[in-house]
Chains A and B, each alone.
Chain A
């Protein structure tokens, strides 16, 4: 097992390099952002050429890659083109906590809700409970987040008001301006209000799919012979489900959960746009379309590394929960 992990970790290095080169090559297809400045009569041609040279847009993409990569090795991912004055790394570092907070809470909340519901739904297959769960699961999975988000906003920010006349929940943003220096609990309560709607919107759709995964995994297990064996030896029904069945049904779920963790960092661009959250999703899209390749590359490499690392973690966890899996 230890050798296997070491081998996999070593294998990651070339993989990450390849991802880096391919991603960089793809970003170079976005047109040179400075070329359009030529049409602006107030900017001198010499200045434009200086900018192009400084950013390496006068070079073919592979030479620009080496220029950029020599900085990366030293830990310098380059300046952000989108946010002049900030380094690409700082731009990402500002968006990352915002995204992790929304997505992380959403991720944990939906698992906490979906897994028990999925188990109940499977154990009571074809009951009223199961049908209700199934309908809501598909509703959640098929509801467009932008529409659901706007409906939530109508409800909580337009129709429902506090006695003071202010909306019940803030329609967008991440915190009330002016509270930056407030005591911890005041800030905590304030920011929590901003989280409610985006978390609910995102969780509604992922609860749906997690419930379906858990339900089908559980259904697969409860009809196995060893469940009948457990009943035949007098195991109480509660333990038949929570011990004998669940341990087996969780094997594929645990892997899926591990593989989904990198998604927390990727953000959810549409929901972020609707609720005006300065998170990773919208930042990366802006960086990609505006040719801010240093920022886009930081974000992309962060996600890639997490995907690769969590693939390994998923494999390790898989071997840990399923005694039949052995790596050698």
Chain B
């Protein structure tokens, strides 16, 4: 797996938000590698820094209050954090595209969906209007929108949520990006539509070969889609391995807890409560000392409360940030 070419390498990324109540280290030393054509799942609870990571890669962190403090985001061998705003603009929507959680509000209500897609095309490719229009219709067709010529002229409010998310995908893929970031793109959709959109993304990935970073809190979504899964907790990656490994032999207590708390329909005949991870996500203003998971961890020791563990490769391709990893 590691012989594949590295597309994105996020190293020790720190993105902080400066609010009136204090500094929020939304992402605090996050590492993540995405290979060319790979589907990576970034999983974590709300507030663990998943979306901020995505927006940092896009360099779309609203400033103020947010700021990327340090780290590197190497894309095609170049550090995105060193790029000028104009250089970054040319990458956005061309080499790296992003789709968002809320399809209902992510499209501009006063422009037709066709205009919004062809705008993305003309921004990045030397095409005339007719060419962009043709390409837009092709893209609408590719993402499975029936009657693309008619849909071209429709406004977002005339489309359902699932259709709008397909439009977003068409827009994101119109320039053949190397990386598609999907930030909870299916969360707001109902389950059947969610499955359709995931199917579509997987199919398009096979056809077009781009890498996908799937950001979600839903393990079931990445179980179906991702080859590699990174588990984030309180702004850091705590475990990173192939999807198989994560589900078969989780090594970090947090990952283990997450997997335990998935209801298993077949096994559950008793009335015992669903196992849950004790405690709450730490307040971003008061991060615990040592390992950030220690207050909730059943295996925590003095060492965990004093020192912060490093992300170490326990077995080839399986990285864990824990002093007491669970033995497989």
Do the two chains belong together in a single complex?
yes
Instruction: Give the interface of A toward B (CB within 8 A).
Output: 224-226, 228-237, 244, 247-248, 251, 321-324
Residues of A within 8 A of B168 (CB): 229
> Which of B91, B119, B172 is A235 in contact with, Cβ under 8 Å?
B119
Which of the candidate stretches B30-38, B92-100, B133-141, B143-151 sits at the interface with the other chain?
B92-100
- Contact partner, A234, options B93, B105, B109, Cβ 8 Å: B93
Q: How far is the CA of A232 from the CA of B106 in the complex (A)?
A: 11
**What are 23 pairs between A and B in contact, CB < 8 Å?**
A226-B105, A226-B106, A228-B100, A229-B107, A229-B108, A229-B168, A230-B108, A231-B92, A232-B92, A232-B93, A232-B98, A233-B93, A234-B90, A234-B91, A234-B92, A234-B124, A235-B89, A237-B89, A244-B108, A248-B110, A251-B110, A322-B110, A323-B155
Chain A neighbourhood of B111, CB < 8 A: 244, 247
B residues 75-94 with Cβ under 8 Å of A?
85, 89-94
Judging by beta carbons under 8 Å apart, are B58 and A232 in contact?
A: yes
Q: Mark B104-138, 1 if CB is under 8 A from A, else 0.
A: 01111111000000011001100000000000000
Determine whether B60 belongs to the interface, using a CB cutoff of 8 Å to chain A: yes
Bound-state Cα–Cα, A240 to B38, Å: 32
Most A Cβ at <10 Å: residue of B60, B107, B108, B119:
B108
| Cβ-defined partner of B157 (8 Å) among A225, A228, A233, A323 | A323
> How many Å lie between the Cα of A237 and that of B58 in the bound state?
14
A324 to B102, CA, bound (A): 18
Residues of A within 8 A of B124 (CB): 234
- Cα distance A233–B181 in the bound complex, in angstroms: 12
A225-B102, A323-B155, A323-B157 given; A233·B97 CB < 8 A: yes
> B40 — which chain A residues lie within 8 A by C-beta?
none
| 9 nearest CB pairs, A to B | A233-B93, A234-B93, A225-B105, A234-B92, A226-B108, A233-B120, A323-B155, A232-B98, A225-B106
> Are B107 and A226 in contact, CB atoms less than 8 angstroms apart?
yes
In the complex the two chains form, what is the Cα distance from A324 to B321 in whole Å?
Answer: 51
Verify B93–A236 contact, CB threshold 8 A. Answer: no
- Does B120 contact A234, Cβ atoms closer than 8 Å? yes
Which of A233, A244, A247, A248 lies at the interface centre, i.e. has the most chain B CB atoms within 10 A of its CB? A233
* B98 adjacent to A235 (CB under 8 Å): no
**B residues with CB within 8 A of A:** 58, 60, 85, 89-94, 97-98, 100, 102, 105-111, 119-120, 123-124, 155, 157, 168, 171-172
Closest Cβ of chain B to A225, distance in Å, is 4
Quote the shortest CB–CB distance from A230 to chain B (angstroms): 7
B116 CB, min distance to chain A CBs, angstroms: 8
Looking at chain B's contact residues, is the secondary structure mostly helix, strand, loop, or mixed? mixed
Chain B neighbourhood of A244, CB < 8 A: 108, 111
With most chain B CB atoms within 10 A of its CB, the pick from A230, A247, A248 is: A230
Given A233-B171, A322-B110, A323-B155, 6 extra CB contacts under 8 A: A226-B108, A229-B100, A232-B98, A234-B89, A234-B91, A235-B89
In Å, the complex CA distance between A233 and B91 comes to: 9
* Contact of A236 with B106 in the complex, beta carbons under 8 Å: no
State A137–B98 Cα separation when bound (angstroms): 39
**Are B108 and A248 in contact, with the CB atoms below 8 A?**
yes
Chain A positions within 8 Å of B110 at CB level: 247-248, 251, 321-323
- Distance in angstroms from A243 CB to nearest chain B CB is 9
Cβ of A328 to closest chain B Cβ, rounded Å: 15
Q: Which residues of A contact B105 (CB under 8 A)?
A: 224-226
What is the CA–CA distance of A322 and B110 in the complex, to the nearest angstrom? 6
Tell me, rounded to whole Å, the shortest Cβ–Cβ distance linking B183 to chain A: 10
Please indicate which of the listed interface residues B93, B94, B171 has the most CB atoms of chain A within 10 Å of its own CB: B93
Q: How far is the CB of B94 from chain A (nearest CB, A)?
A: 6
Chain B residue nearest in CB terms to A224: B105
Q: Which residue of A lies closest to B104 (CB)?
A: A225
Residue of B nearest to A230 (CB): B108
Q: In the bound complex, how far is the Cα of B183 from the Cα of A229, in angstroms?
A: 12
The winner among A225, A236, A248, A251 for most chain B CB atoms within 10 A is A225
In angstroms, Cα B58 to Cα A260, docked, is 43
Chain B nearest Cβ from A325, distance in angstroms: 10
Contact A228 B60 (CB under 8 A): yes
Return chain A residues, CB-CB under 8 Å to B58: 232
Check if A234 sits within 8 Å of B155, measured CB to CB: no
**Given A225-B102, A229-B108, A244-B108, CB of A235 within 8 Å of CB of B123:** yes
Complex Cα–Cα for A291 and B93 (A): 69
B278 to chain A, nearest CB (A): 35
Chain B contacts of A248 at CB under 8 A?
A: 108-110
Are A234 and B60 touching (Cβ within 8 A)? no
With contact pairs A234-B90, A234-B92, A234-B124 given, residues A229 and B106 touching in the complex (Cβ less than 8 Å)? yes
| A78 CA / B151 CA spacing, docked (Å) | 60
Q: Give CA–CA (A232, B98) in the complex, Å.
A: 6
Which residues on A sit within 8 Å (CB–CB) of B106?
225-226, 228-229
Complex alpha-carbon distance, A262 and B100, angstroms: 44
Cβ–Cβ < 8 Å partners of B90 in chain A? 234
Most buried by B among A225, A228, A229, A235: A229
Q: How far is the CA of A244 from the CA of B102 in the complex (A)?
A: 18
- Min distance, Cβ B228 to any Cβ of chain A, angstroms: 23
